[in-house]
Chain A
Amino acid sequence: MKTFTYEKARDPAQAAALAASHKDAKFIAGGTNLLDLMKIEVETPAHLIDVNGLGLDTITPTQDGGLRIGALVRNTDLAADAQVRRDYPVLTRALVAGASGQLRNKATTAGNLLQRTRCPYFYDTAQACNKRTPGAGCAAQTPGAVSRQLGVIGTSAACIATHPSDMAVGLRVLDAVVETILPDGSRREIPIETFHKLPGQTPHIENALQPGEFITAVSLPAPVGGAQSYRKLRDRASYAFALISVALIRHPDGSGRVALGGVAPKPWRLQAADDQLPNGASAVMATLLEHANPTAANAFKIELAERTLAAMLAEE
């Protein structure tokens, strides 16, 4: 771990301003991802801004009938919230499919959205990784590399890592909006759809946040109803990142929404694929994963996604 300085922010505006005024500053929330990465020097912030004292830990109704989730609401509390469980059950299910009870007690809404990839080469600083060191190359794409867990779509020649969050997949299928404050005090709203960035030539840029920009909340639109489910597939029954995961909202008329986790650098959802839902799992996946470009080791994720959605449709 590199030496760093530390301070506690007083309020969100100040947090953003502080972050912009320090070189290599990072916010620290639950710390469950950031601290791990600092220990192995994948993350080397020079300055930590602790945002845990800022409140932002409540879930409140919005004017248009939705919910505003404070950035520091813990994953455990969000999953257990009665309104979330009743009106947005796909979010609760996605949350409890992630990590472990202890981790969810610490993990925050904003931190979860910003957690970094689990590509094994990203974690070994001796390995070439464009995400860690732009231009260094991508060890995961050399012949003979280990890539079973990595992405199949939305990836690039520079990076094939996935975004590992379960919660984000739930938020994506619910069309959540990320609310932020910028260092100049202005605020903006970023739809979850455009929040995470595809790698292209710049896999180190993972989201739409500007330097210093601080997430204050994530808001959910008014409930969309429907039967909501989340299914996560992995090699062991619990406490592992997804091979793939599927978030599904289905209405009695057969229409609905589908988002995938574990396949792409962001929660993967396409309107055109949603539209195929009445035609069944194969039709959805043919559209959703049409441009997939898997490795030999992870090509199975495409069939797995189709099979999983089919299972979910059958189980309703």
Chain B
Amino acid sequence: MKFTSPATETIFDTSTVVGKATHRVDGPLKVSGRAPYAYERHDVIDGQLVAYPLGATIAKGRILSIDTQHAKAAPGVHTIITTLEYDELPKDERNVASLFGGDKVVHYHQAIAAVVADSFEQARAAANLITVKYDIEQDLDFDLERQWQQRGTVEPVSATGDFAQAFQSAAKTLDREYRTPGHSHAMMEPHSTLAHWDGDALTIWTSNQMIAWNREALAVTLGLEEDNIRVDSPYIGGGFGSKLFLRSDAVLAALASKASGRPVKLALPRPFVMNNTTHRGETIQRIRIGTDAQGHITAIAHTAMSPTQPGGQGEQATDQTRQFYAGANRLIEHHPVEMFLPESNAMRAPGEASGLMALEIAMDEMAEVLDMDPVAFRALNDTQVDPENPKRTFSDRNFTRCLSEGARAFGWHDRPQTPASRRDGNWLIGMGMAGAYRGSPVLTSGARVRLQANGTVIVETDMTDIGTGSYTIIAQTAAEVMGLPVSAIDVRLGDSNFPRSAGSGGQFGAPSSTAGVYAACVKLREMIAQKLQMPEAELSFSDGAVHSAGEPQLIGTFATDAELVAEDKIEFGKFRSDDHIVSTFGAHFVELRVHALTGEIRLNRMLAVCDSGRILNPITARSQVIGGMVMGVGAAMMEEMAVDRTQGFFANHDLAGYEVPVHMDIPSQEVIFLDTLDPVATPMKAKGIGELGLCGVAAAVANAAYNATGVRLRDYPVTLEKLFPGLPKV
């Protein structure tokens, strides 16, 4: 199915399943421990061995030797693979740092060996017996601050109008710097893979968001034909972008399995999640805004710097500023700085999460300069066209409704007008808000649907469910189109033997994959119509039956002889991006209290209003948004990858040192979905929701902390000591 023009009236406009609150179809499996995750695929193949990885303990240099003598002799050990036995393995274009092979070290905990043993404990103990000699490269710079102070000029990412002139002549201006630290995905399930070779054919049971990308990358890295690789990842214990790409778990497991001639499984230890895999890069950002006397933005510039491994981009924190707010004169600059920290790469809402942490404080500050309500200031600068190219229009943008409905629902009018003016006993009370913006990209997505004689439909697609609810919304989509209950749909995901899908990432998974399933179901309906020798348009599908002019016929009867199989994919036409910007919008509101003496922050309540097109399932969508809000609270108040600036690694590489919010940090959360539909987005008029919930949250918290204390924080996380300067003296 090709999506080449905006959707018109569809069956989803009168839906009975899609859009209705539906509990996760995989929920019972998960809460009863029966959903098989990668490290627990005990049943798929006999004779599994366990591997444990060894990481480099320097940031950069060369490995002179790896002594495995003692490790080889340790109990239970079968094989040891070391990086010195391989040439540097080719990497897929989506990876920045090489994953294994060769003597070069470019970051701490780069994988340099793996020990294969009968048990996990034996493999880990033996790995500790390996000794490595390095030639360490000294005097490397891991200090982003220094790089920022010494920065030169860069070619702008984009320049519209004449920013410099407009900023200079603006009636009111703001020029501020903001700092966001690195963040770890810190998902519950670390990267894990079980690998097995059958001759030249490799199967990996793994935990990965993007099956097809993973297979392509494995083919490149291991020099295999894609057809000889099978990737299976039906359940994923969180990813947040950390599992978008091929990672060392799969490479090491595959090589170790080859070397030992047995199936081998390997999970990355938690410190590897921080230092071996990817993270959201640290940023320093400068934002300049100029307005006229009424508060219309006339000039806006966003400059950001972020560290990256050579060849990467780092965190693109300026992305949203290109399109979020109006203004004729614009300048966007990005300085990626080469640094041999672990690889900075996509993490939930890459770009926007860090960028909005800065931009949405700047908007708050600018509103204050103008003596305007921050909600009104944002609404005034809404735009329905791409500010860089007014010929492109937003497909469906209801940002001002998010602002106004949020302000009303939250009681924004009652906020303390002056910072540090409301007190309840020992607590200073503040309210803050922020705008949310996140693009809603799509990718081609395919599916196969198999009608069974018993009237059920099996859906197969390599789409993944990373805890988000893909199983459920896909079942709802198929149920809706085929006129079946959700219980009659058997969704099978995450297997490279299934048709290639969008996968999970960039909040493109839900809109793309459901559209792909829709396409395949339409094809199945056409096949049934053909059997009836009737035009598909004259049939209706409901209550498990096909209704035409004559008697309704149970749908299973069309598969009595043999299952009826249809396969199709959704392909998105260029009109979507040539003529439009398809994005999601939101507004976050936060009320919090700050202890007047200790500076402790406690949230009182949070509200998100989301404009995301058709909400496919309010339960799973809400769960995405409140999860994003929790992540935003983490970014606001505690999450920070603490860089050892001399050695070049993240020192807090476990979940005791890298703190994420606990239940006690999270107050009552409310989510309002605007009942919007975006016909340009997909045939189902749906957009992504998985990342929007995070965008802007941290700034709303920081703005509320300012409102409570009068201390403007531009350096995350907002920890208590940073508030001391504005708190009453002892």
Chain A interface residues toward B at CB < 8 A: 1-3, 39, 41, 118, 120-121, 123-126, 139, 142-146, 148-149, 233, 235-241, 243, 280-282, 300, 303-304, 306-308, 310-311, 314-315
User: Is B107 positioned at the interface, with any CB of A under 8 Å from its CB?
Assistant: no
Contact A144 to B426, CB < 8 A, known contacts A235-B717, A238-B664, A314-B597? no
Chain B residues whose CB sits within 8 angstroms of the CB of A123 once the complex forms: 654, 657
State whether A303 touches B724 (Cβ < 8 A).
yes
B595 adjacent to A237 (CB under 8 Å)? no
Q: Is the interface of B mostly helix, strand, loop or mixed?
A: loop
15 contacts between A and B (CB under 8 A): A120-B651, A120-B652, A124-B653, A139-B647, A143-B645, A144-B646, A144-B647, A145-B651, A146-B651, A148-B642, A235-B637, A236-B661, A303-B721, A304-B721, A314-B597
Interchain CA distance A1-B127 in the complex, whole Å: 10
In the complex, the answer to whether A121 meets B651 with C-beta atoms within 8 Å is yes
B642 engages A239 (CB within 8 Å): no
Name which residue of chain B comes closest to A309, CB basis.
B730
B600 on the A face (CB < 8 A): yes
Q: Which residues of B contact A238 (CB under 8 A)?
A: 662-665
Interface residues in B, total, Cβ within 8 A: 44
Chain B contacts for A2, CB-based, 8 A:
125
Closest to A149 in B: B657
Q: Is the CB of B595 within 8 A of A311?
A: yes
11 more CB-based (< 8 A) A-B contacts, given A118-B657, A236-B664:
A120-B652, A126-B57, A144-B644, A146-B642, A235-B638, A236-B665, A237-B662, A300-B721, A304-B599, A307-B727, A314-B426
CA–CA, A149 to B721, complex, Å? 13
Cβ–Cβ contact A311 & B646, under 8 A: no
Cα A149 to Cα B142 in complex, Å, equals 21
Kindly supply a per-residue 1/0 record for chain B positions 107-139, scoring 1 wherever the CB is within 8 Å of any chain A CB and 0 otherwise. Answer: 000000000000001001100100000000000
Chain A to chain B: the 4 pairs with minimum beta-carbon distance, closest first: A144-B645, A126-B57, A300-B721, A144-B646
User: Does A307 contact B598, Cβ atoms closer than 8 Å?
Assistant: yes
Q: With A and B bound together, what is the CA distance between A282 and B730 in angstroms?
A: 7
Residue of B nearest to A303 (CB): B724
Chain B residues with CB under 8 A of A240: 656, 659, 662
Once the chains bind, are B662 and A310 in contact (CB under 8 Å)? no
Task: Report chain A residues within 8 Å CB of B719.
Answer: 235
**Docked-complex contact A144 and B142, CB < 8 angstroms:** yes
**What chain A residues lie within 8 Å of B595 (beta carbons)?**
311
Say whether B187 faces chain A, with CB atoms less than 8 Å apart.
Answer: no
Chain B residues with CB below 8 A from A149, complex form: 657
A307 touches B656 (CB 8 A): no
The CA-CA distance from A241 to B719 in the complex, in Å, is: 15
B96 within 8 A of A: no
A300 to B643, CA, bound (A): 19
Contact in complex: A307, B642 (CB < 8 Å): no
Secondary structure type dominating chain A contacts: loop
For B654, the chain A residues whose CB sits under 8 A away are 123
- Determine the distance from Cα of A101 to Cα of B723 in the docked complex, in whole angstroms: 31
Assess the B720–A236 pair: CB atoms within 8 A: no
B271 at the interface (CB under 8 A from A): yes
Q: Are B124 and A1 in contact (CB under 8 A)?
A: yes
Alpha-carbon separation in the docked complex, A281 to B597 (Å): 12
Beta-carbon contacts of B703-727 to A below 8 Å, as 1s and 0s? Answer: 0000000000000010111001001
CA distance A253 to B654 in the complex (A): 46
- Determine if B644 and A310 form an interchain contact, defined as CB atoms under 8 angstroms apart: no
Contacts of B661 in A (CB 8 A): 236
Distance A72 CA – B659 CA, assembled complex (angstroms): 30
> B659–A300 contact, CB under 8 A?
no
Q: B423 in the interface, Cβ–Cβ < 8 Å? A: no
The interface residues of chain B lying within 8 Å CB-to-CB of A148 are 642
Q: Are B662 and A239 within 8 A (Cβ)?
A: yes
Contact of A307 among B597, B638, B652 (CB under 8 A): B597
B128 adjacent to A41 (CB under 8 Å): yes
- In the assembled complex, the CB of B299 is this many whole angstroms from the nearest CB of chain A, namely 37
Contact among B128, B663, B720 for A233, CB-based, below 8 A:
B720
Please name all residues of chain B whose beta carbon is closer than 8 Å to the beta carbon of A41 when the two chains form the complex. Answer: 128
A303: chain B residues at CB < 8 Å are 721, 724
Residue B602 lies at the interface, judged by CB distance under 8 Å to chain A? yes
**In whole angstroms, how far apart are the Cα atoms of A236 and B659 in the complex?**
7
Q: Which residues of B contact A143 (CB under 8 A)?
A: 645-646
- A139–B645 Cα distance when bound, in Å, is 12
Q: How far is the CA of A149 from the CA of B657 in the complex (A)?
A: 9
Mark out the residues of chain B between 592 and 608 whose CB falls within 8 Å of any chain A CB in the assembled complex.
595, 597-600, 602
Do A120 and B597 touch (CB < 8 A)?
A: no
A233 with B57, Cβ < 8 A, contacts A124-B653, A146-B652, A148-B642 known? no
CB contacts under 8 Å to A, within B613-642, are 637-638, 642
Contact among A126, A243, A281 with B730 in the assembled complex (CB-CB below 8 Å) = A281
- 8 Å CB contact of B656 from A118, A124, A146: A118
Residues of A within 8 A of B665 (CB): 236-238
Q: A residues within 8 A CB of B638?
A: 235-236
* Cβ-closest chain A residue relative to B74: A3
Do B600 and A233 touch across chains, with their CB atoms under 8 A apart?
Answer: yes
- Cross-chain contact B142 with A307 (CB below 8 angstroms): no
Closest-by-CB residue of A relative to B663 is A238
Is A315 within 8 A of B426, CB to CB?
yes
Distance to closest chain B CB from A104 (angstroms): 15
Query: Distance (Å) between the CB of B368 and the closest chain A CB?
Result: 27
CB-based nearest B residue for A298: B721
Closest to B143 in A: A144
Knowing A304-B721, A310-B597, the reply to whether A3 touches B125 (Cβ < 8 A) is: yes
User: Is B724 within 8 A of A300, CB to CB?
Assistant: yes
Give complex CA distance A315, B720 in Å.
Answer: 19
A110 → chain B closest CB, angstroms: 22
Select B124's contact among A39, A121, A139, A235, beta carbons within 8 Å.
Answer: A39
Closest to A126 in B: B57
Contacts of B656 in A (CB 8 A): 118, 240-241
Q: When chains A and B are docked, how far (Å) is the Cα of A308 from the Cα of B125?
A: 44
The residue among B637, B660, B662 with the most chain A CB atoms within 10 A of its own CB is B662
The chain B residue sitting closest to A308, CB to CB, is: B598
Residue of A nearest to B719 (CB): A235
* Cβ-defined contact, B662 with A311, below 8 A: no
Q: How far is the CB of A74 from chain B (nearest CB, A)?
A: 21
Distance in angstroms between the alpha carbons of A308 and B595 in the assembled complex? 10
Residue of B nearest to A280 (CB): B730
* Inter-subunit contact A146/B644 (CB<8 Å): yes
Residues of A within 8 A of B637 (CB): 235-236
Across the interface, do A311 and B645 meet the contact criterion of CB distance under 8 Å?
A: no
Distance, CA A281 to CA B656, complexed state (A): 31
Given A146-B643, A311-B426: A236 in contact with B662 (beta carbons within 8 A):
yes
Closest to A234 in B: B659
Say how far B140's CB is from chain A's closest CB, in angstroms: 11
Q: Report how far A235 CA is from B724 CA in the complex, Å.
A: 14
Q: Is there an interface contact between B651 and A142, defined as CB atoms closer than 8 Å?
A: no
Q: Mark B129-160, 1 if CB is under 8 A from A, else 0.
A: 00000000000001100000000000000000
How far apart are A117's CB and chain B's nearest CB, in angstroms? 12
